Amino acid sequence: MKILQLHNLYRVAGGEDAVVHRERLLLQQQGHQVIALERSNAETDHWTAWRRLRLPLETLFSTESYRMVREICQRERPDVAHVHNVFFLLSPSVYYALDREGVPIVQTCHNFRFLCANAIFHTEGQLCERCMAGNYFHAVVHRCYHDSRAQSLTLATSLAWHRYAGRWWNRIDAFIALSEFSRRKLIEGGLPEDRMFLKPHFLDSTVAPPFVSGDYVVVMSRLHPEKDVQTAVEAFQHLPDLRLLVLGDGPLLESLKALTQRLGLRNVEFRGFVGGAARFEILRHAKLLVLPSRVYENFSVSVLEAYAMGKPVVASRIGAIAEMVEEGVTGLLFEPGQPADLAQKIRQLLERPERAIELGRAARAHFEHHFTADTNYRQLMDIYDFARRRREARRSTLSAAQATQG
């Protein structure tokens, strides 16, 4: 099969970019040809001032991306197109180009961007679903994107125009949600239930976990407000005999370091971003992973990594996280934003290391059943087949209608 994969890279590389690359490798390993079309928001750093002024129009509909996609389709004749992120430089124009060329379209919903300007249902420090019903201009009032009314207006206009005037959802043959929670939210927001499939991320991990209870806890997260690493740091006031390693970078790094100094904490270490083998080596020897997020999330790659390494997870009871972490089976849940509750849950496993190992074994078993490359590949092929059948049915219906009119 020939697959056209489309993805707009983020300015700062993150888990979504890694997931797209991992899926591309999986398809290639299975003998498929993958044509990757990627653009990066960092391209704008080299644009002229005049071209930057046109960015709002490019965000709404990029004629450059539209032309690129049509040329690739005409030259390569892909069997299916798999779209990941289109904002900002690919733009929603790619859906119209693919539809014009008759290519079946699959869309992975890595976040809630179709329904929310900032994609995470979170603004002004609170959960927010104001735009889910379709009035995206709440985002302008609350400056939901980068705390800028101008940028929020650009994004809200794009979302509203394509939803109502462009009917872009109708052009997509299959949607992929990463969790059951996300699937329900997307359907609640108006996406078609009959085209919504559940397919989580995966890891190709054959390394045998050590199944030991280490002497430190790990947080692996971008250091942004909604990730609420502050709660994890504050919890370690109550856990003086245990270390916390924070793996991640972001705008809150310095303020979090200042917080540890104010609290007099000597058991919290900031390691910055750690990737690759070093990341898994740290995780292999940890006691557990902490995930303190205050937002719904769609799917946590860090939980997936912990499960692959046979580690339990202590996570906030919210959104898809509470679905991924089964209370008392693969980990424990605490109330979001409550450091004392988090500390109490960690202490349960600190005092019973054999319990931590038991949960870790269950976590690894859950990983092997749900999140392996083989399982994911079969799910993906089923979704591609559905998209191709739907596109063919639409083509047949259109041909019949044209014949009748003729």
Q: What is the mean pLDDT of the chain?
A: 94
**Residue 267 backbone dihedrals phi, psi, to 5 degrees:** -110, 20
Would the pLDDT of 400 be above 80?
A: no
Quick one: which of 311, 333, 330 has its CA closest to 322?
333
Model pLDDT, residue 406: 59
Model pLDDT, residue 398: 76
Residue 207's pLDDT band, with cuts at 50, 70 and 90, is confident
Question: What's the chain's length in residues?
Answer: 406
Model pLDDT, residue 56: 85
Would the pLDDT of 208 be above 80?
A: no
Residue 351 CA from chain centroid, whole number: 34
Quick one: which of 256, 332, 317 has its CA closest to 287?
332
Instruction: Give one DSSP letter per residue of 206-227, joined into a string.
Output: -PPP-----SEEEEE----GGG
Rounded to whole angstroms, what are the CA distances from 60 to 12, 144, 363?
22, 18, 43
Would the pLDDT of 70 be above 80?
A: yes
For residue 35, what are the contacts with CB-CB under 8 A and spacing of at least 6?
2, 3, 4, 5, 72, 76, 78
Structure tokens at 188: 């609640």
Residue 164's pLDDT band, with cuts at 50, 70 and 90, is very high
Model pLDDT, residue 118: 92
Rounded to whole angstroms, what are the CA distances from 34 to 2, 31, 121, 202, 236?
6, 9, 33, 18, 46
Structure confidence by residue, pLDDT tens digits, 219-245 = 999 999 999 999 999 999 999 999 999
Residue 52's pLDDT band, with cuts at 50, 70 and 90, is confident
**Could you give all domains of the chain from N- to C-terminal order, each with its CATH number?**
2-108+167-202+374-405 (3.40.50.2000), 216-361 (3.40.50.2000)
Question: Average pLDDT, stretch 286-304?
Answer: 95
The radius of gyration of the chain's CA atoms, rounded to the nearest angstrom, is: 22
Distance in angstroms (rounded) separating the CA atoms of residues 56 and 151: 8
Would the pLDDT of 403 be above 70?
A: no
Q: What is the chain's percent helix, strand, coil content, to nearest 5?
A: 50, 15, 35
Would the pLDDT of 3 be above 80?
A: yes
> E strands within 73-193?
80-83, 105-108, 122-123, 126-127, 174-177
